[in-house]
Amino acid sequence: MSTIQGYFDPRFESVRELFAEQQQDEQARGAALCVTVGGETVLDLWQGVRDKDNQAVWEQDTLVNVFSCTKPLGAVALLQQVAAGKLELDAPLAAVWPEFAQAGKEAVTLRQILSHRSGLSAVSKTLPPEALFDWDTMSAALAAQEPWWTPGDEHGYAPVTYAWLLGEPLRRLTGQRPGQAIANSICEPLGMDFFIGVPDQDLERIASVSRLRNQYGDEGARRLFGAMGQPDSMTAKAFGNPSSMMTGTNRREWQQADILSANGTGNARSLARFWQLLAHDGQLDGVSLLDAALVKQMQQEHSAGDDNTLLCQTRFGLGVMLEHEGPGGSFGMGKNAFGHPGAGGSLGFCDPDAKVGFGYVTNTMGPYVLMDPRAVALSQAVYRCLQSID
């Protein structure tokens, strides 16, 4: 195993030691961690390997699929459009996407979409694998889809359909493919090495993703995986329709698509930078990500309790998960932390009280439904350091 590379503030040496310890696991391949406190980066570490043969060393500029850690970028991009007066949180989404006004969705709002209350967590009609990479096919399928429950009455996480529920309005409002719109309004202004649709010249930097062997997670994971074995259930369709959702991760088609719910490709440094801004109400050192009032709306509880898709307790703001006490629900810091995990272990979040931005990525996927214990252990270690400094 390669040695740890990067920078750490000596006050956070215990976090570096834990990161190194995690990488000693015999199944560990590659990972990176970046943490900001206020305007400073206190940890920027990486270690391990990035190729499927475990030969290529993880580099400073290695990229990896962070799965649902991508979702808050799409949410912020739409909220930027709200700030610009181009759409409203509580107006029908059909105002910018007329074809959406069918099958009982005429009154569905952006607020309901962002907080997973729209009833559109999955497409019921079985789609061919290639549909996942055809923007118009997926948008049309969601425009035609009848909600699985009365919009606004319940909530259920939309693991993949979120890409088109946000991306099609964004495409119509900006005239750009969604990945490019997010690059223009978020990634480039913040200096993030992050892509939704990786350019040809950057493909060679992407780490190959694999799963931990013989690990089955907690009770929530076993319950979810059991439901996914029932082909006609909403949970199974949410994660497995089209079937390429479960098999495409290391394919070029996936890496270069605009699946802004699940295929963001970047590094821990970029996640930490994004959350650094949100920890400061969207503004820091002359850089503006989002109006402070809308950042506050993101943090307000919009959904809480039984999740129709994940079959566990979840708590959502607008486009983000909120801290909660249920299994797997804690970010490991303060009560006002908010952010988003990604399938397999990646995590991006902020603690606005401690002014922390946090990014963790890995190419060794764990089996947990919400927060991965590896990432949470690191965030808890950061928090302990902060408390000892104070």
Q: Does some domain include residue 187?
A: no
Same domain, 54 and 119: no
Q: Does some domain include residue 188?
A: no
Distance CA 48, CA 225 (A): 29
Distance CA 274, CA 270 (A): 6
SS3 content of the chain, % helix, strand, coil (to 5): 40, 15, 45
pLDDT of residue 1: 47
Structural tokens at position 386: 């902060």
Same domain, 281 and 346: yes
pLDDT in tens, 175-227: 999 999 999 999 999 999 999 999 999 999 999 999 888 777 778 778 888 88
Nearest CA to 157 out of 302, 255, 350, 358 is that of: 302
Distance CA 323, CA 79 (A): 21
Same domain, 276 and 360: yes
What domain count does the chain have? 2
Same domain, 16 and 133: no
Q: Which helix (H) or strand (E) holds 9?
A: none
Q: CA-CA distances (angstroms) from residue 1 to 28, 29, 124, 208? A: 9, 8, 45, 17
Same domain, 269 and 288: yes
Kindly report whether the peptide bond that precedes residue 242 is cis, defined as omega within 30 degrees of 0.
yes
Structural contact between residues 220 and 370, judged by C-beta atoms closer than 8 angstroms: yes
Nearest CA to 87 out of 184, 179, 173 is that of: 173
Q: Does some domain include residue 200?
A: yes
pLDDT in tens, 380-389: 999 999 999 8
Structural contact between residues 198 and 63, judged by C-beta atoms closer than 8 angstroms: yes
pLDDT at 228 over 60: yes
Range of the domain at 82: 73-181
Same domain, 16 and 49: yes
pLDDT in tens, 299-346: 999 999 999 999 999 999 999 999 998 889 999 999 999 999 999 999
Same domain, 43 and 22: yes
CATH number at residue 287: 3.40.710.10
Q: Which amino acid is at 20?
A: A
pLDDT in tens, 241-293: 999 988 889 999 999 999 999 999 999 999 999 999 999 999 999 999 999 99
- Of 158, 181, 204, which one is at a domain's C-terminal end? 181
Same domain, 62 and 159: no
